[in-house]
Amino acid sequence: MTDTSAAPAPAKARNDGVARMLYRFRQSRLSMVGAALVALVLFFAAFGPMLAPYPGHVAGGVETASRFQPPSVAHPFGTNELGQDVLSLTMAGTTVSVLAGFGVVLIGALIGTVVGAVAGYVGGWTDEALMRFTDLTLTIPGLILAMAIAAALGPGFQNMVLAISLSWWPGYARLVRGEVLAAREEVYVTAARATGAGPGRILFRHVLPNCVSPIIVKMSLDMGFAILTVAGLGFIGIGVRPPTPEWGTLLSNARSYMPDYWWTAMAPGMAMFVAVFGFNLLGDGLRDILDPKGRR
């Protein structure tokens, strides 16, 4: 009898930890607002193109008879220079922005984690060389670097994501290197080595899993900025080509018709703000529960 009650204890303790985290997360009203906004954004990213009231406009359809209609019940955010419903374009644009943002953060974190983990674990001149390269990349302004790579690679969704990712990884490399340096000295690493584990196994099975939470926190904090960068490239005219709707491109278009047809800018601009705001609030909340050290 006593044996059976003792066995599930560790699992219960872990559940308690998760429950406590959830509780703390729910206590923070701002994090909940952030989570709700992010859920909304993800919902539109998945279903936006289908839910758009004028799917024909999303596919590139033009209705020149109804150009530049001011906001009305039929078109809550008006129509643009081609007579397309701005709300539909903005809803459909969520997909590109969120996917690109995810792609950038994911690839950036992946490259950065590998670089930082190798630098921190191997040490010596490998560390020196990798970190000097990281520092150098950090001195080049991210947006200019991403723009230069994107322009050289040519237009397109994948090229844009790749270009931004290549300017995005240095922050992760520095973060992971620091974490690995600290974790390397832990007792469980010595224990793993004593049982005969090789460096690759120690690094990827023992050290890195213990560095995951700061990486996740940084990824969630970076999501908003990645979306902003994607939109920034679109605004300048690099990246996804029309007719694929994208927030930055929509805003850049609206800019040419500015004082008279101001409403064409409102929906994409506000969508950008709401999405980035949501991810930033959520990231802040996640940092508070997962990485108490980083709390400010």
User: Minimal CA–CA distance to 46: which of 96, 101, 112?
Assistant: 96
* Whole-angstrom Cα Rg for the chain: 23
Count Cβ atoms below 10 Å from residue 208 Cβ, excluding itself: 20
The whole-angstrom separation of Cα 115 and Cα 174 is 9
Mask for 117-136, x = binds other proteins (CB under 8 A) = ---------------xx--x
Mask for 133-162, x = binds other proteins (CB under 8 A) = x--xx-xxxxxxx-xxx-xxxx--------
Q: Is there a cis peptide before residue 243, judged by omega within 30 degrees of 0?
A: yes
Residue from 84, 94, 165, 280 touching other proteins (CB under 8 A): that is: 280
Show the tokens assigned to 146: 């991403």
Write out the binding residues for other proteins, residues 229-258 only, by CB under 8 A: 231-232, 235-238, 248, 251, 254-255, 258
The whole-angstrom separation of Cα 255 and Cα 237 is 13
261 binds other proteins (CB under 8 A): no
Q: Which is nearer to other proteins, 202 or 266 (CB)?
A: 266
Is-contact 287 217, C-beta < 8 A?
yes
Shortest Å, Cβ 282 to other proteins: 10
Q: Which residues bind other proteins (CB under 8 A)?
A: 30, 132-133, 136-137, 139-145, 147-149, 151-154, 224, 228, 231-232, 235-238, 248, 251, 254-255, 258-259, 262, 265, 269, 272-273, 276-277, 280-281, 284, 296
